[in-house]
Structure 1
Amino acid sequence: MKPNKFYLAAFSAFFIWGFFSLALKPLHNYPSLDILFYRVFFSVVLMIIINVAFRRKIILQNWNHFNAMTAKQKQSVTILTLVGGVFLSSNWFVFIYVMNHVSVKAASLAYMICPILTTILAFFVLKEKLSKWQWFAVMISALSCVLLSLNHFEDIFYSLVTAATYAMYLVSQRKNSELDKFLILTIQLIFTAIILLPFYPNYSGDLPTEALFYSCLLVIVVFFTIIPLFLNLYALKGINSSAVGIMIYVNPIIGFLLAIFYYHENVSTLQLFSYFLIMISIVVFNEKLIFSRKASNIPVEIADLK
C-alpha cells in the first residue's frame, strides 16, 4: 500500500482534533472528571454497538488470530493494549483540565511539545532512525517550545504532562499491530471504563440534565474521539511514530488560531514567531516526502481509509 493514505489518515486525525475546543469549551462549567467519565462511558457503549452490529466477522477473525499466537505474543499484545488505555485516559483527563481551566494556548502548547517527546522516545525505545534533516526539525521545534514557555511556567508544566502521556501512547501503539485497530481501541476504552467505574459514585457530580451537555458530548465522542483515534491508529500501521508525531503540529496550529481569533486570548509577538518556527519544522521534517513528490510529479491521492 502506498504511504500517502497513512499520512492522510494522520493529518486528518490531528486536523479534526484542532477544533476540539469548539465542543469542549461550552462544558467548562462542568468538572473535568465528569467530562472524562461520560466521554469514556459513552464511547464504550457506541463502540461496542458498532462492533457487535457491523464487525462480528472481524472480531471472530481477530479472536482466532489471537488464539494462534504464541504465549509471548499474547502477553505482548495484552500489555501494550492495556498500557495504551492507561496512557490514553490519563491524556484525556489532563487535556480536558488544561483546556477548560488553564487556557486554550496551554493545551495547544502540549501538542507542540508532544512531537519532540514522541520522536525522542521512538528513537530510544523503538530504535527508529531519523535523518539529519529530521533531527534539525526536532531542534527547531525544541527552540520554538522553549520560546513559548518563557514567562509561562504553569502552561509549560501542564503542557509537558499532557504531551508526555500522548507521546507514550503513540510509541506504545506503534508496536501493537497484531490485531485490528478499531478492536484494540474498543478494548482500551473498555479497560479505561473498568478502571474509572469504581471512582464514579464518589467523584462524579450530579447527573447532568442540560441538553447542551449531551449534545456536546455526542459530538466529542463521535467526531473528536472515535473517528480521529481510529485514523491515528490506522496511520501507525503504515508510517512510523516519528512521522505521526510530527503531524501533531496540525492540531495546535489550528488551536492557536482559534485561541487568537475565536477566544480572543492574548498572544505576544514572541509566541507568533514560535509558531512560525513550528511550521518551518514541519516542512523540514517532511522534506524527503515533499521533494520526492515534486520530483516525480505524482499527485497526492485522497486514498480510501478503509
Structure 2
Amino acid sequence: MKTTKYYLAAITAYTIWGFFSLVLKPIHEYPSLDILFYRVFSCSILMLLIAFTFKRKRIKETIETFKALSKTEKKKTLLLNFGGSFFLMANWFTFIYVMNHISVKATSLAYLVCPILTTLLAYFLLHEKLTKIQWISVGLSISGCLLLSYSDIMDMFFSIIIGLTYASYLVSQRVNKGFDKFIILTFHITLAAIVLLPFYPVYSGPVPTEFKFYFCIETIAVLFTIFPLFLNLYALSGINSSTVGMLLNINPMIAFGLANFVYHENISGLQIAAYSIIFIAVLVFNSHHLLAIKQKYSLSSKDCQ
C-alpha cells in the first residue's frame, strides 16, 4: 500500500483540473494567447519567489547533483527538461484555444484520448508492463473514444493534439528523476516564460484592465497550474506513467458533467454511453489497487474484532 499516497496525489490533481472551465470560461472573450502569456508569466514569478525564498538549499543541491552527472546524463537531463517545458506550452495553448473557441466537450475528449496515448507511449518507449486486464481497459477506453469521435470527427482531431502533448509530458517526466520536483517544475514554467516573452509585445492584445481577468489568471496560476502539476510530478515518482495517465480520465468526466449541467452543451445518449464505458475502463485498469485496499481494510477489521 506504499503507492496509495501517489494515487491520491494523481486523483487530487485531476479532480482539480476537471473544474478548470469554471475559471477559464469567464474570460473566454480574451485571446487564447493572452491567457497563455499571463498564466505562464504569473506562474513563473510566483514559483521563482517561492524557490528563492524558501528553497535556496534545494536549488544548490539540484545544481550540485546536475554537475555530478556524466556528459551523457547531463544531455539526457537537459533534453527531458527542455522537452517537458515545450510539451507544457503546447498543451496549455491548444487546451485554451479549443476550450474557448471549439467546445468544452473537445477538451474533455482530449483527456480521454490522453490516457490511451500515455499508456501506448509508456509501453513502447519506457517498456512499462501491462497485465491482460489493463490491456482490456485500454481497449475499452479506445472503444469509448471511437464512439465519441463518431458524432464529431473534428473534436477528435483537436483532442488528439491536446492529448499527445500532455501524454508526451507525462512520459518524459516519468524518467526525469533525481531532482526536487518543485525545482524541476519551476524550471519548466520559467523556461516557458522566457520562450514566450519575446512574442508578448508582438502577439498580445491590449493590456487587460478588468479585475475579473487578473483574478481568474491568478486562480488558474495557483490552483489550476502550480498545485496540480506538482502533485502530478509527485505521483509520477511513485507509480507508472500509464497508471497516472489512466487516472487522468477523472478530469474529462468532471468536465463532461460541467458541459452538460453548467454550460448546457448538447449531450447525446451516445456520449453518455461512451463516458460510462471509459469510467468502467478506469476502474478495470486500477482494479488491482482497489482490491489491495479492500483486502487491507478487511484484514484490519478482522484484527480489531
Q: TM-score range by the shorter chain?
A: over 0.9
- Return the offset for 1:294: 1.6
Query: Which letter does structure 1 place at the counterpart of 2:262?
Result: Y
**Corresponding residue number in structure 1 for 2:282:** 282
Deviation at residue 299 of structure 1 after TM alignment: 9.5
Shift in Å, 1:134: 0.3
Q: Please, what is the CA RMSD of the aligned residues?
A: 1.3
Q: Map residues 222-237 of structure 1 onto 2, 5 A cutoff.
A: 222-237=222-237
Q: Which amino acid counterpart does residue 239 of structure 1 have in structure 2?
A: I
Question: What residue is the counterpart of 2:97 in the other structure?
Answer: 97
The aligned counterpart of 2:123 is: 123
Measure the CA separation in 2 of the matches of 1:293 and 1:198. Answer: 50
How far is 1:296 from its partner? 2.9
Structure 2: which amino acid aligns with 1:42? S
**In 2, Cα distance between the equivalents of 1:214 and 1:297?**
46
Distance 1:299 1:121 in 2: 37
Would you say the 8 A contact 1:134–1:285 is kept in 2? yes
Structure 2 distance, partners of 1:28, 1:298, is 49
Whichever residue aligns with residue 292 of structure 1, its letter is A
Deviations 1:242-278 (A, max 9, x none): 0100011100000000001011111000000001101
Structure 2: runs of 5 or more not aligned: 301-305
Identity across the alignment (%)? 54
The aligned amino acid for 1:177 is: K
| 1:126-141 correspondence to structure 2 within 5 Å | 126-141=126-141
Distance 1:11 1:276 in 2: 18
Which residue of structure 1 aligns with residue 174 of structure 2?
Answer: 174
Once the two structures are overlaid, the 10-residue window that deviates more, 25-34 or 286-295, is 286-295
Name the counterpart of 2:303: none
1:53 correspondence with 2:62: no
Per-residue deviation, 1:196: 0.9
Residue of structure 1 in register with 2:193 after alignment: 193
Q: 1:295 to 1:24 in 2, by over 3 A?
A: same
Q: Secondary structure of 2:72's partner? A: helix
1:63 and 1:8 map into 2 onto residues whose CA distance is 30
**Following TM superposition, by how much is the alpha carbon of 1:190 offset from its aligned partner in structure 2, in angstroms?**
1.3
Amino acid at match of 2:76: S
Contact 1:293 1:299 in 2 (8 A): no
User: Match of 2:34?
Assistant: 34
Gaps of 5+ in 1: 301-306
Q: Which residue of 2 aligns with 1:260?
A: 260
Letter of the 1:34 partner, please give it.
Answer: D
TM-score normalised to structure 1 length = 0.96
3-state secondary structure, aligned to 1:59: helix
Residue aligning to 1:202: 202
Kindly tell me the number of residue pairs found equivalent between the two proteins.
Answer: 300
For 2:90 and 2:237, how far apart are their aligned partners in 1? 23
Partner of 1:245: 245
1:304 alignment partner in structure 2: none
Q: 1:182 is matched by which residue type in structure 2? A: F
Q: Which residue of structure 2 lines up, in the alignment, with residue 159 of structure 1?
A: 159
Quote the residue 1:69 is aligned against: 69
Q: Offset of 1:297 from its aligned partner? A: 2.1
Deviation of the 1:151 alpha carbon: 2.6
Amino acid at match of 2:196: L
Please give the alpha-carbon distance, in whole angstroms, between the structure 1 residues aligned to 2:296 and 2:83.
42
Distance in 1, matches of 2:27 and 2:179, equals: 35
For the 8 Å contact 1:141–1:277, the answer to whether it is kept is: yes
* Structure 1 runs of 4+ with >3 Å offset: none
TM-score (norm 2): 0.96
Q: Deviations over 1:37-75 (max 9, x none)?
A: 111111100000000111111111111111111121111
Kept after mapping to 2: 8 A contact 1:77/1:178 = no
1:229-250 superposed Cα distances (whole Å, 9 cap, x missing partner): 0000010000010010001110
Whole-Å separation in 1 of the counterparts to 2:299 and 2:47: 35
Name the SS for the 1:107 alignment partner.
helix
Secondary structure (helix, strand or coil) at the match of 2:151 reads: coil
Amino acid at match of 1:291: L
Q: Distance in 2 between matches of 1:151 and 1:234?
A: 37
Partner Cα separation in structure 1 for residue 297 and residue 168 of structure 2: 36
**Which segment drifts farther, 59-68 or 38-47?**
59-68
* SS across alignment from 1:206: coil
8 A contact 1:108–1:253 mirrored in 2: yes
Q: Which amino acid aligns with 1:74?
A: K
For the residue of structure 2 that corresponds to 1:297, the secondary structure is helix
Cα distance in 1, alignment partners of residues 108 and 57 from structure 2: 40
Partners in 1 of 2:247 and 2:134 — Cα distance? 13
